Copies of this chain bind each other. A is one copy, B any other.
Amino acid sequence: MSAQDDNELLTRVGPGTPMGDTLRQYWVPALLRSELPERDGPAIRVRLLGEDLIAFRDSAGRVGMLGDHCPHRGASLFFGRNEEGGLRCVYHGWKYDVDGRCLDMPNEPPESNFRDKIRHRAYPCREAGGIIWAYMGTRTEPPPLPELEFMGVPDNQIMLQKRLQYCNWVQALEGDIDQSHVGFLHSRVADHGPFTAEEAASYDSMERYYKRIDRRPRYSMVDTEYGVMGCATRTAGGDAAYYRVTHFLMPFTTITPPGAEADPSRSIRSWVPMDDESVMVFGISYRPTRPFEEREYQRLKTGAGANWVGEDHFLPATSEPNGRWKPQASKANDYLRDPELQRTGPYTGIQEFWAQDAAMQESMGSIYDRSTEHLGTSDAFIIRTRRRLVDAAKALRDGGVVPPGVDEPEAYRVRSVQVVSPSDVPWMTATRDLIQVVPGTNPGGAALGLLRQV
């Protein structure tokens, strides 16, 4: 970053900050629908963009998202009674509906009209794709929800997970659009030894194979309506190129390529700031054309060979917001790194895939000071993404410009892809038909019919 000011602007998300105002223009993933399973069930704590909120599902099934503190005398509505169309503070019985209206004020004289003067902070919520989305912005009529592909498929074609990370959201997000780290951070020691033909034949993943071949991807990016699309190009042997197309979708979502097989499972992640120093990662896997089979579901859940940690990798739930999504592998235990294992197994000595990322992203500091970094050509996608975020925040702050994608929900209908192509076919040409969501279809990279070449 050229200036510390821009780093502040980029990273801070509290109410009234330029980036905070920008994020509040969008719908924000707040909770899994499964976290509020029943009508009139217990309220739960949510921390979003530096705000402490209380979420509940009312008698009619609507989700409410209220400010934590009762507007009367500030007690937490977390302890509230969720009953008959609203959440009732247990201190004096004041009751609020999902819109923040005060429905009852039973300790005040019946003739009082004080009740009508109370309007509690309440954010509209919608449910789609198994996620509860909140709109924390200023429009009376919220914008439409983004039309991400998974939001249009049935529930049994989606698998959702969450994970808490203790650092600023931007450095976490950056880690996910960074292509060149995969060949190191997520590699195994054996990946760096002599490359024999037998070993080459053993690779079961196109991605792992080409990242072994070429650890120095070249980047090319274009700005889009929804954010940034970028391609990491690697040599694929002979006159072939290996293209990986990744999306950054404003304001904090990433799409990385699925497997190369036909009809692959797809992944999206949202890096939602709880506040400036912690981020709630939503991991969304989905199948565009059919339900998950039980064994596929289990494979994702246990994390065996997959890119998400299973539920047994979390600490026991605490009463903190999102307390149940705290990973066991943490800064306090050096992410369960084993220096001995590091000699022969995972490059990091850390077993879990996402703990490898967390170790890097959290060790950068709570809020990474970008004035000390040295970016190379491999960081081009990151540079572009920061610029997109900073520009959007400044345009909103200085000119009231609506940020990219807010009012273009259909722009979010994109997919990522990995393909092997003749190197004289530009990546945008080679992938054009694969990056648009076409309902009922689901080509993998292998659809191009190109074989890998050693």
Tell whether, in the assembled complex, residue B107 and residue A376 are in contact, meaning their CB atoms are under 8 Å apart.
yes
Contact between A42 and B339, CB atoms less than 8 A apart: yes
Asked if B109 and A76 make an inter-chain contact with CB atoms under 8 angstroms apart, the answer reads no
Q: Inside 8 A of A42's CB, which chain B residues have their CB?
A: 339, 342
Interface set, chain A 326-362, CB cutoff 8 A to B: 332-334, 337, 339, 342, 347-350, 356, 359-361
**1/0 contact trace for A197-222 toward B, CB 8 Å?**
00000000000000000011110000
Q: Are A364 and B79 in contact (CB under 8 A)?
A: no
Q: Cβ of B363 and Cβ of A76 under 8 Å apart? A: yes
Using Cβ atoms and an 8 Å threshold, which residues of chain B touch A334? Answer: 78-79, 319
Selected interface stretch from A295-303, A367-375, A390-398: A367-375
Name the segment of A21-29, A86-94, A151-159, A268-276 touching the other chain: A86-94
Known: A112-B376, A215-B93, A215-B107. A349 touches B71 (CB 8 A): no
The yes or no answer to A365 lying at the interface (CB within 8 A) is: yes
Asked, given contacts A79-B359, A81-B342, whether A378 binds B108 with beta carbons under 8 Å apart, the answer is yes
Q: Is the CB of B373 within 8 A of A184?
A: no
User: Contacts of A218 on B, CB cut-off 8 Å?
Assistant: 109
Q: How far is the CB of A70 from chain B (nearest CB, A)?
A: 9
Q: Hey, what's the 0/1 contact readout for A34-58 against B, CB within 8 Å counting as 1?
A: 0000000110000000000000000
Residues of B within 8 A of A349 (CB): 79
From the candidates B78, B373, B376, name the one contacting A105 in the complex (CB within 8 A): B376
| Bound CA–CA A361/B348 (angstroms) | 40
Q: Nearest Cβ in chain B — how far from A107, in angstroms?
A: 4
Provide the bound-state CA to CA distance between A217 and B108, in Å.
8
User: Do A378 and B107 form a contact, CB below 8 Å, given A91-B181, A373-B73?
Assistant: yes
A238 within 8 A of B: no
Question: Would you mind naming 12 contact pairs between A and B with Cβ atoms under 8 Å apart?
Answer: A68-B363, A72-B374, A72-B375, A75-B363, A79-B350, A79-B360, A90-B347, A93-B184, A105-B376, A106-B215, A112-B376, A318-B332
